[in-house]
Structure 1
Amino acid sequence: MNHQDHQDHQAVGASVDRVAKQVIDAGLKVHRALGPGLLESAYEHCLAHELGLRGLPVRRQVPMPVTYDGMELDAGYRLDLVVINFNARLFRDGVRRFAL
């Protein structure tokens, strides 16, 4: 990894951190406003709205195929929300897990 690659990696990391903080804050705001006990779809819809208000591009119910034996199969999987994919070539390259 050269110096430029390291700087690019740091810039992407900082962008991911900023977006992650916005997503977590939005999730907490929605949960505080709605409280527990609603269907997941209600939280999803409200969270997508809140993220949009914050200027974050968000897509709901994005199909995610399963790759098996070199084929992409539509197994009915859906991603509830996708918030920016940072131009990752593959979806899994843009996926990060956060523990709260």
Structure 2
Amino acid sequence: MGLIDHLKARLGPARGKVSDLAQQHGDKVQHGLDKAAKAVDEKTKGKYSNRIHTGTDKAKGAMDRLAHKDEPGTEGGGGSGGGDMFTPPRTPPPTS
């Protein structure tokens, strides 16, 4: 486990930087996600709207968790009340 501990120690400062960037630019990132989702939805003529919407929501939830990670009271499963943190894994669609 020496390698894992070494990696965690090396990535610690990066985690803080990512959190800071998420706090500073979260609105821009979320706007970009919406814009990209809209473009993909138009290109696919709405065929994958549900999947695009789900993926966009999960990406926004991840951004929110990154942005609020260092705030008091959000660590350890408490949180921002976002509910996306405990979303069960998606199952494949039924085949017809």
The bucket for the TM-score relative to the shorter chain is: 0.3 to 0.5
From the CA coordinates, give the structure whose radius of gyration is larger: 2
**Which TM-score applies when normalising by structure 1?**
0.34
**Which TM-score applies when normalising by structure 2?**
0.35
Give the strand-richer structure, 1 or 2: 1
